[in-house]
Amino acid sequence: MAAEGRRVGVIGAGMVGVCTASYLQRDGHSVFLIDPGIPGEGASFGNAGAFNASSVTPVAMPGVIRKVPKWLLDPLGPLALRWSYLPTVLPYLYRFWRAGTAEKVHAQARALRPLVGPTLTMLRPLAEAAAAEEFVHQRGHLYVYRSPEALAKDGLAWTLRRENGVVADEFDADELRQLEPTLSREYVRGLLVRENGHTSNPFGLVTRLVDHFRRQGGEVIRARALGFRLEGRRLGAIRTDAGEFPADAAVVCAGAYSKPLAAGLGDKVPLETERGYHLMISDPEVMPRIPTADSDGKFVATPMALGLRFAGTVELAGLDAPPDWRRARILLEQGRRMLPGLAASHAEERLSVWMGHRPSMPDSLPVLGPSGISPDVLYAFGHGHVGMTAAPMTGRVIADLVSGRPAPIDIAPFAAGRFR
Ligand SMILES: Cc1cc2nc3c(=O)[nH]c(=O)nc-3n(C[C@H](O)[C@H](O)[C@H](O)COP(=O)(O)OP(=O)(O)OC[C@H]3O[C@@H](n4cnc5c(N)ncnc54)[C@H](O)[C@@H]3O)c2cc1C
């Protein structure tokens, strides 16, 4: 089959789908995006916006499962669980626990670095073509700690980053104050990774990329993909609630909603949603210049075009449960502690909250590559906490595969069948 000029349907118009569609289009394919909603309004809307090349540390780290009871009992803690959801999520938690051995996390970090490391390099050509550079910045990412002991406890994370070539500059309390004067004096250690970047408007960025994709002849179809019509092992069409769309290749980029599409092809993947929240303050009294992660609270403060965003926390409650906005309010309390220059209270109209679904796999690695049954249907989902960062390279990988070239990075660790 001719590798160029194929008709390719990309299912899901979040950051991953849109970067994938953009790279496919650049390769000369005729590309359409399918999404039942507005492009960029999924998880890609409300995240912390970090393009962290250094994000090689899996969520399941050795010992993390032992911290879970303490986190669950702490109403301000970084993890919450709806108890009614426990039976459903148990198999995932078991796999999560099994993934977090010392040996495995080194391998996971090695696998992730080529996917996340070149994030800005791979994003820039897309952002430039789409006139979206104003939303992409490289000011680094700052990790702050309240004690040398807290930093020491994070030792393995820093070992994994350093092993994979991440360079971080360490700051003591005084230096930290000079670097980022808005921060609380409670913080006594900071590590700055200068190669990291961020977007000041994740939704704006996805929207500009989609607009450019359309101008280049790409189509955006408002429909929900339901499955595939295969002719033997070859793809005939993508089935949707608005009828069938013939395609030579399809890419599943439906984020946390990808599981049934893969299951329909016989690939049973343990995809789970790690729900996360954000709270934004418009016109804040103070704003850090550099996106800053509080390692105790596991949240990030990001300077955004529309205000200051605190984003983070994990809630295990599935795709359908209504949001628990107390989780977002916690971020406000923690944020005020991080940045004491913020007012002690804010008028409600200056605050906004959001909840979204991280598409997470137990080993913190995405599913990236061909489906088990057909070489024409490819997967690109499950990027968990790092989907904004990993999206540009994911798009490049898929475009290479669809065009008949070898993937530019090792994708064996991302195989759909690895949990069989
Ligand atoms: C609080 C929070 C903070 C985060 N911070 C960061 C960060 O700083 N940096 C980072 O890299 N990552 C971050 N993430 C993770 C990141 O947001 C996600 O990994 C990423 O947005 C996933 O992108 P996606 O395109 O796979 O999914 P989504 O953006 O969710 O897009 C999936 C799309 O698929 C569509 N869809 C669903 N079902 C179907 C169907 N059947 N047919 C067609 N379309 C369908 C949906 O409508 C949606 O538009 C954060 C996440 C959260 C929740």
Q: Which atom of ligand 1 is nearest to the CA of 18?
A: 25
Res 407: pLDDT:
98
CB 78 within 8 A of CB 71: yes
CA of 3 relative to ligand 1 center, distance in Å: 29
CA of 387 relative to ligand 1 center, distance in Å: 7
Q: Please say if the pLDDT value at position 227 is more than 60.
A: yes
Q: Please say if the pLDDT value at position 328 is more than 90.
A: yes
Nearest Cα residue to 166 out of 103, 124, 203, 119: 119
Res 331: pLDDT:
96
Share of the chain above pLDDT 90, in %: 94
What is the average pLDDT across 173-182?
97
Q: Please say if the pLDDT value at position 268 is more than 70.
A: yes
Res 267: pLDDT:
97
Res 1: pLDDT:
43
Regarding the beta carbon of 386 and ligand 1, being less than 6 Å apart is answered: yes
Nearest Cα residue to 97 out of 57, 71, 154, 59: 59
Regarding the beta carbon of 15 and ligand 1, being less than 6 Å apart is answered: yes
**Residue 50 φ then ψ, to 5°:** -80, 130
Please state the pTM of the whole predicted model. Answer: 0.98
CA of 380 relative to ligand 1 center, distance in Å: 11
Regarding the beta carbon of 12 and ligand 1, being less than 6 Å apart is answered: yes
DSSP line for 45-85: HHS--EE-TT----SS-TTHHHHHHHHHH-TTSSEEE-GGG
Regarding the beta carbon of 57 and ligand 1, being less than 6 Å apart is answered: no
DSSP β-bridge partners for residue 314: 79
User: Which residue puts its alpha carbon closest to atom 16 of ligand 1?
Assistant: 387
Regarding the beta carbon of 225 and ligand 1, being less than 6 Å apart is answered: yes
pLDDT digits (tens, 9 = 90+) for 17-67: 999 999 999 999 999 999 999 999 999 999 999 999 999 999 999 988 888
pLDDT digits (tens, 9 = 90+) for 332-360: 999 999 999 999 999 999 999 999 999 99
Res 74: pLDDT:
85
pLDDT band at 2 (very low <50, low <70, confident <90, very high): very low
| Strands (E) located in 318-408 | 351-360, 367-370, 377-381
pLDDT band at 243 (very low <50, low <70, confident <90, very high): very high
pLDDT digits (tens, 9 = 90+) for 193-210: 999 999 999 999 999 999
pLDDT band at 3 (very low <50, low <70, confident <90, very high): low
State how far the Cα of 8 lies from the Cα of 247, in Å rounded to an integer: 6
Mutate to test the pocket of ligand 1, among 19, 35, 38 (most ligand atoms within 8 A of CB): 35
Q: Which atom of ligand 1 is nearest to the CA of 224?
A: 42
pLDDT band at 105 (very low <50, low <70, confident <90, very high): very high
DSSP line for 317-341: -TTTSPP-THHHHHHHHHHHHH-TT
- CA distances in angstroms from 59 to 245, 330, 367, listed in the order given: 38, 21, 16
Q: Which atom of ligand 1 is nearest to the CA of 41?
A: 49
CA of 282 relative to ligand 1 center, distance in Å: 23
Res 81: pLDDT:
92
- What is the average pLDDT score of the chain? 96
CA of 385 relative to ligand 1 center, distance in Å: 9
**Residue 60 φ then ψ, to 5°:** -80, 95
Q: Which atom of ligand 1 is nearest to the CA of 302?
A: 8
Regarding the beta carbon of 6 and ligand 1, being less than 6 Å apart is answered: no
State how far the Cα of 103 lies from the Cα of 96, in Å rounded to an integer: 14
Share of the chain above pLDDT 70, in %: 99
**Residue 362 φ then ψ, to 5°:** -60, -30
Residues near 225 by Cβ (< 8 Å), separated by ≥ 6?
9, 11, 12, 34, 238, 239, 240, 252, 254, 261
Q: Please say if the pLDDT value at position 4 is more than 70.
A: no
Res 76: pLDDT:
75
Measured at the alpha carbon of residue 278, what is the angle toward residues 275 and 281, in degrees to the nearest 5?
170
What is the average pLDDT across 140-169?
97
* CB-side neighbour CA atoms (13 Å) of 361: 27
CA of 42 relative to ligand 1 center, distance in Å: 5
